[in-house]
Structure 1
Amino acid sequence: MTLEAFADTIIPGVKRSADDRAIAGVSTDGGAVESGAVALMEDPAGGFAMMLGPLSESLNGHAAGYAEENGLTLDPTVPPFVALAFDHRTALLSRLLAPEHPEKEMWVGLALFSNMAYDSAAHMTTVDALAAGHPGLLAIGITRPDADGLWRFPEYSYGRPLSRLHPQTTPTGSPA
């Protein structure tokens, strides 16, 4: 739940249900959690999987300290970071991700996994991600492949040739 709240603070998404506490619900679109951020964090190939427990504990410790410092009363039924309102989650992460923070490398690394999950669906194939309606790939306009699973681009992305052909170019496109 803490890792989901972290990922949702990096790239906010829509709540999965009315009683969802990890996702703050400040967006009407899918965010890092729906994009698979936690699955990517948990993948052993990423190098963070074994540290997720201690990182969650540390984040909750920082959240409890932040709450005390700011006179906030936290709901004891959820982890401290999850209990923070979104604006307070954002303020705390701004502090932890700041260049001068001694633990910033860990928090930046964790934030990168949230971004990778959203921006590239790094934990799954692009075809599978698009078939599942991956919110990040759809938001950036990745098109679905043709029926045979291949992408073809019948039109140039700029809609026009980028330069004139060299006068000695053969019909096959080879230089003379």
Structure 2
Amino acid sequence: MPDRDCPESRNAVLEAFADTLIPGEKRYPQDRAVAGVSEGGGAVASGAIEVLETPEGGMAPALGDLARLLGEHAVRFRAEQGLPRDDSEPFVGLGYDERLALVGELLAPEHPEHAMWAGLAMFSFMAFDTGAHMHTADAMAAGHPGLAILGFAPPGEDGLWRFPAYSYGRQLADIHPDTDPTGSPV
């Protein structure tokens, strides 16, 4: 079985997990981690590994162990399903539908490791939904796939975000009388 402490192997497993949740298109023809079941960028292209490795998230020290456990679950899943062995990378080698079934099992509320896998999933969603590893202006300038797909509005020419149409389609409250023209309280 591959060495999960090797960053390339570890990253491939974690990328395959993230791609199962928010799929994207393959980065190159032989890409095994990204299944390629969707067009455009998914969690991997949105920076899932970068978000997982941020010191603020606290997940970085556990990533090798999580990749190893995911591989162990994939070996068990393959045996239960009668799938052929994949000694190169058990989880990465699963087809998308099999990955989805296994990840669904791990994320089930009754699974004893649910909290651990839910944490890993949360970071994948954060990468896609927010580009949490980057300043939002930088993510927008770089064409962050998640923010683009979600239709996140770009900042104005001055680099500030204003939402004149209101995100709920209507004004929810009156502007406080002490608010200056930039939207800041005086």
**Quick check: 1:129 aligned with 2:110?**
no
**Quick check: 1:152 aligned with 2:162?**
yes
The correspondence of residues 1-176 of structure 1 with structure 2, limited to 5 A, is 1-77=12-88, 79-156=89-166
- Structure 2 SS opposite 1:27: coil
Q: What amino acid does structure 2 have at the position aligned with 1:47? A: G
Partner residue, 2:182: none
Q: Which moved more, 1:79-88 or 1:133-142?
A: 133-142
Partner residue, 1:173: none
Identity over aligned residues, as a percent?
58
TM-score when scaled to structure 1?
0.86
Report how many residues are paired: 164
**Distance between the aligned counterparts of 1:52 and 1:111, measured in 2?**
13
Per-residue deviation at 1:39?
0.6
Per-residue deviation at 1:161?
6.2
Per-residue deviation at 1:146?
2.0
Per-residue deviation at 1:53?
0.4
**Distance between the aligned counterparts of 2:111 and 2:173, measured in 1?**
49
Q: What amino acid does structure 1 have at the position aligned with 2:47? A: G
**Distance between the aligned counterparts of 1:41 and 1:161, measured in 2?**
37
Q: Which moved more, 1:38-47 or 1:143-152?
A: 143-152
- Structure 2 SS opposite 1:58: helix
Q: Which moved more, 1:149-158 or 1:109-118?
A: 149-158
Q: What amino acid does structure 2 have at the position aligned with 1:103? A: E
Per-residue deviation at 1:94?
0.7
Distance 1:16 1:153, change over 3 A: same
Q: What amino acid does structure 1 have at the position aligned with 2:102? A: L
**Distance between the aligned counterparts of 2:111 and 2:53, measured in 1?**
24
Distance 1:52 1:161, change over 3 A: closer
- Structure 2 SS opposite 1:81: coil
- Structure 2 SS opposite 1:112: helix
Distance 1:162 1:152, change over 3 A: closer
Distance 1:111 1:161, change over 3 A: closer
Distance 1:98 1:158, change over 3 A: closer
Unpaired runs of 5+ in structure 2?
Answer: 1-11, 178-186
Per-residue deviation at 1:144?
1.4
Larger Rg, first or second structure (1 or 2)? 1
